[in-house]
Amino acid sequence: MKVVMIGAGYVGLVSGSCFAEFGADVVCVDVVREKIDALNSGVMPIYEPGLDALVARNVAAGRLAFSTDLAAHVGDADLIFLAVGTPTRRGDGHADLKYVYAAAEALAPHLTGYTVIVDKSTVPVGTAREVERIIRQHNPDADFDVASNPEFLREGAAISDFMHPDRVVIGVESERAEAALRALYRPLNLRETPILATNLESAELIKYASNAFLAVKISFINEMSDLCERVGADVQAVAKGMGMDRRIGGKFLHPGPGYGGSCFPKDTLALTRIAQEHGASSRVVSAAIEANAAQKARMIQKIRKALGGSEGGKTVAVLGLAFKPETDDMRDAPALSILPSLMEKGATIRAHDPQAMEAARPLLPDGVGYCDGPYEAAQGADALVLMTEWNAYRNLDLERIGGAMRQRVMVDLRNIYDAETAAKSGFRYSSVGRG
Ligand code: NAD
Ligand code: UGA
């Protein structure tokens, strides 16, 4: 089975490599030459655990290749996946589909024989039909079907999520397209992964509805964490007690500095725009978006309070810049709004992240000090802020880190320590939702 993956980003690269691992012949195509050159010389353009070994193994087996030449590979393909970005369109919050449509236009003239064109990007309802229209317009005689196959992997756990998904969703309109996708995913189906076949519209909406629901869950627990602080409850206990009800489930009930990343912020916004366009309401999702912004603002106040009421002239050590651990992705990371706000009020930032410092540098204001490790970041600091729960920060030598600081103050935005442990090393400790 021959697969072309258009877009060699977090999703395209991981999905393409995993399809190769299943035995398909895969070519990942990207318009960014440096990315393809890097991949062809064995260098990963992103940090994703296990990706380098997976890529190397499948390249060596001759099942995985990288190219900038789309035209050269389209003709051979049985399935062509669109895994390009769908960021927020500037100005109106809709998903920007220009990369999807450009890819559809670029591939159309080169189609030969029956091909399934599959949207893997997260796209608004109706996009697959528009892709079909574009291809038909540019190649009226082409023999093809369109399909929707949204991706549910998380960054940092992308390979295992892809290899062990809760479900595979395929939106199809023809038995032929469904058979091709089922054949490609057969190795997962053999492991009893359910494959849900729906129409195109349902598949497209399942993706947005799933991301929005998870975002709602996070915003819900973040609001509860505020209430916990006010009434003297412990949000960890509240989340645990709620999660024991199997109808609720314990996952995605961890409070923090607000959800970030390349997907929840843009997809929740896009869903409200899709609803608006079709005259439906999306009040719950809108509230989750508002609550997320409020959570970030509340974290800034929390840090200010820990600094004694003002950031002016204070040094803040920040551990973790990426929106979550095990990734170098800085898209919509809470650090991108929290740090500039502290700096505007006169704080000096000394930051560390195990993987994301290079990606963070162009996105954060000049003047952020990038440090070699947590102990260096803590040097002379008035507060230590734990922003991302990297494993490297879970077992810090608090005596050593406190010894490097001007004041022993810790603001733990991920609840990885507790007040008692911190107090033993002389820290004044605050966290999220533990009243
Ligand atoms: P990304 O920005 O990491 O990668 C997109 C890639 O597409 C880039 O390398 C870009 O150069 C390339 N590209 C753009 N136009 C192209 C074209 N015409 N031809 C070839 N390549 C082209 O994006 P991503 O994070 O992989 O996300 C891709 C899609 O998958 C988005 O719709 C996103 O919402 C969705 N998604 C992402 C994740 C995730 O964890 N990142 C998970 C599930 C779904
Ligand atoms: C998320 C979804 O989990 C994936 O299923 C989906 O495929 C992906 O978006 C996407 O569409 O791109 P991802 O953004 O990689 O994956 O990471 P998550 O683990 O979901 O975390 C997202 C944000 O929520 C992070 O900022 C994280 O810190 C935060 N979060 C997550 C919490 O604050 N609390 C939680 O309990 C869980």
Residue 105 gets the label, from left (phi > 0), alpha (psi -120 to 50) or beta, of: alpha
Residue 76's pLDDT is 94
Distance from Cα 84 to the centre of ligand 1, integer Å: 4
Residue 190's pLDDT is 87
Residue 1's pLDDT is 96
User: Does the annotation mark 228 as catalytic?
Assistant: no
At which residue do the structure tokens 């012949």 appear? 25
67 Cβ partners below 8 Å, 6+ apart? 27, 28, 29, 36, 73
Pocket test of ligand 1: the residue of 262, 329, 331 to mutate, having most ligand atoms within 8 Å of its CB, is: 262
Residue 435's pLDDT is 78
Distance from Cα 25 to the centre of ligand 1, integer Å: 20
| pLDDT per 10-residue tile (average), the chain, 435 residues | 97 98 98 98 96 98 98 97 96 96 98 98 98 98 98 97 97 98 94 96 98 98 98 98 98 98 96 97 98 98 98 98 97 97 98 98 98 98 98 97 98 97 97 93
Q: Which ligand is nearest to the CA of 68?
A: 1
Q: Which ligand is nearest to the CA of 266?
A: 1
* Ordered domains of the chain (ranges, CATH): 2-198 (3.40.50.720), 199-435 (3.40.50.720)
Distance from Cα 354 to the centre of ligand 2, integer Å: 19
Residue 360's pLDDT is 98
Q: What is the DSSP string of 316-361?
A: EEEE--SSSTT----TT-THHHHHHHHHHTT-EEEEE-SS-HHHHT
Pocket lining for ligand 1, CB < 6 angstroms: 6-12, 29-32, 35, 83-86, 99, 102-103, 106, 121-122, 151, 153, 155, 262-263
Distance from Cα 233 to the centre of ligand 1, integer Å: 41
**Contact (CB, 8 A) for 243 and 401:** no
Could you identify the atom of ligand 2 that is nearest to the CA of residue 327? Answer: 15
Pocket test of ligand 1: the residue of 5, 10, 207, 269 to mutate, having most ligand atoms within 8 Å of its CB, is: 10
User: Using a 6 Å cutoff on CB, does residue 217 contact ligand 2?
Assistant: no
Could you identify the atom of ligand 2 that is nearest to the CA of residue 253? Answer: 36
**Contact (CB, 8 A) for 235 and 255:** yes
Distance from Cα 155 to the centre of ligand 2, integer Å: 8
Q: Say which DSSP state 246 is in.
A: T
Q: Which ligand is nearest to the CA of 324?
A: 2
Could you identify the atom of ligand 2 that is nearest to the CA of residue 215? Answer: 24
Residue 381's pLDDT is 98
